[in-house]
Structures are given as C-alpha cells and as structure tokens.
Amino acid sequence: MKLTIIAATGGIGRQILEQATAAGHDVTAVVRDPSRLPRTSARVMTIDLDKDTATLANAVAGADAVLSGLGARTKADEGIATRGTRAIVDAMRTTGSARLVVVSAAPIGTVASPDNPHPPTHDAGDGFFMRHLFSGIAKTLFRAHYADLAAMENVVRASRLDWTIARPPKLTDRALTGTYRTALDQNVRGGWSISRADVADLMLRTLDRPETVGHVVGAAS
C-alpha cells in the first residue's frame, strides 16, 4: 500500500513510520526537520505545512492513505493540528487522494469548537471517574491543545474525505502489544492509557476496516 505519513518525527508519527516500513508499505514521510528522523527506507520530504502547498500536494498524490500524527509539542506549535490538517485536506482534495486517518484525544468529544459550540458534557464510554474528575482536570491543563484538536476534527469531518479519527487517552512509550481495546464513536470504558506504538498500530489497522470510515475510534489498553 502507498502511504503518506505526516509529522513522521513525532511520537505517534515515528511509530507509524516504523511499523509501516516494516510491513513493506511504500511510504512517504513528511517532516519539518529531517534531522530528527531516524534512518529509514521511506521517501522523506521536508515540508512546512503552512507554506509548501505544492510540495504537500506532491507528497499525497497517488497515496492509498494519508496518516497524520499532527499535534502541538510546545506552546509555539499551538494551532498546528488545525492549520496543518486543513492544508492536508486541501492537498488531498486537489490530488484526488481520499483516505485520511488522524489522531486526536479521548476528551475531545466533550470540547467545544467553532462547529460544535455545545458538545455533550460527557462521552458515552466514560466511567464515573472519567466523567466527574479526570476529564475536567485534563481539559483545564490542556485547554489550548484540546481546542486545537477539536477544531482539527471539525476540518476532518467537513472534508468530504474517507476519514477516521483515532481518540486515545493518556499516551505512554510502552512497547507495541496489539491487544488494546477499541470502541466505535465513543471512548473505551475504563480506558486510562495506551502506548503510542499501539495507537500507530490502530491507525494502520483502520486502513483494512471500511466500517471505520466516517467514524471516531476510541482505543485504550
């Protein structure tokens, strides 16, 4: 399969890259700083998503799927998920690529956004502690990051592409297990964490699961 991986130097993006190349896929890795990328057999393209629209179109042209690990790492990166995803969507629509898989976060279904100013107060999959304690604390601590991801989801939903949104809870650096739990259009009950490696595995697996197109997939260990 021909895949384009956006933000391939990030925590999840790097895991997608490693797993996709190991599986023998034809991979194009889109990065902003190639010096942060480990040695890889993938085709590497250095692209600023805010500026290099023509180059981005070349990166996604002919791809069977585009997988994005975009997300702010620092305060200076705030808004990158929304801006970058908008650029990706525009490039995909220009070139005719249709399948898009992005990563978001478990609390985002309850975060207000321009297209969803009055979200539900809790996710259907959340248990008592998630609904009444952890989710509120997380949304306070990561307010700007979550606002960016919520707006990013708006862009994806409005894209008219064949999209899937992965929503993991707390991310860890544990090894790949492949035995995590998933839930369609809601969070996983009792799901507190999942490794970045398993999120990458999930995102790649959705490519063979047409029932995930147009849906959110919750995942947790």
Our measurement of the distance from residue 19's CA atom to the centroid of its chain's CA atoms, rounded to an integer in Å, reads 15
- Which domains are present in the chain? 2-220 (3.40.50.720)
pLDDT of residue 202: 98
DSSP E strand boundaries for 86-133: 99-103
The residue-averaged pLDDT of 11-37 equals 97
Taking the C-alpha atoms of residue 150 and residue 105, their distance in angstroms, rounded to an integer, is 9
Q: Is 7's pLDDT higher than 70?
A: yes
- Asked if residues 202 and 219 have their Cβ atoms less than 8 Å apart, the reply is yes
What token pair was written down for 118?
Answer: 């009055």
Question: End-to-end distance of the chain based on CA atoms, in angstroms?
Answer: 27
What token pair was written down for 14?
Answer: 């790097």
CA torsion, points 58, 48, 159, 141, in degrees to nearest 10?
Answer: 150
> What does pLDDT average to over the chain?
92
Place of tokens 């990458």: 200
Taking the C-alpha atoms of residue 9 and residue 29, their distance in angstroms, rounded to an integer, is 9
Taking the C-alpha atoms of residue 208 and residue 197, their distance in angstroms, rounded to an integer, is 18
Q: What are phi and psi of 91, to 5 degrees?
A: -65, -40
The residue-averaged pLDDT of 4-21 equals 97
pLDDT of residue 51: 93
Q: What are phi and psi of 208, to 5 degrees?
A: -105, 15
The closest of 61, 18, 64, 60 to 42, measured between CA atoms, is 18
CA count, 13 A, side-chain hemisphere, 81: 27
pLDDT of residue 185: 97
Question: Is the pTM of the predicted complex or chain greater than 0.85?
Answer: yes
The closest of 179, 200, 177 to 188, measured between CA atoms, is 179
The closest of 195, 221, 219, 194 to 205, measured between CA atoms, is 219
pLDDT of residue 123: 77
The residue-averaged pLDDT of 155-177 equals 97
The residue-averaged pLDDT of 153-175 equals 97
Taking the C-alpha atoms of residue 130 and residue 110, their distance in angstroms, rounded to an integer, is 12
- Reported as a single tens digit per residue, the pLDDT across 85-125 is 999 999 999 999 999 999 999 999 888 898 888 887 777 77
- Reported as a single tens digit per residue, the pLDDT across 127-157 is 655 655 555 555 555 678 899 999 999 999 9
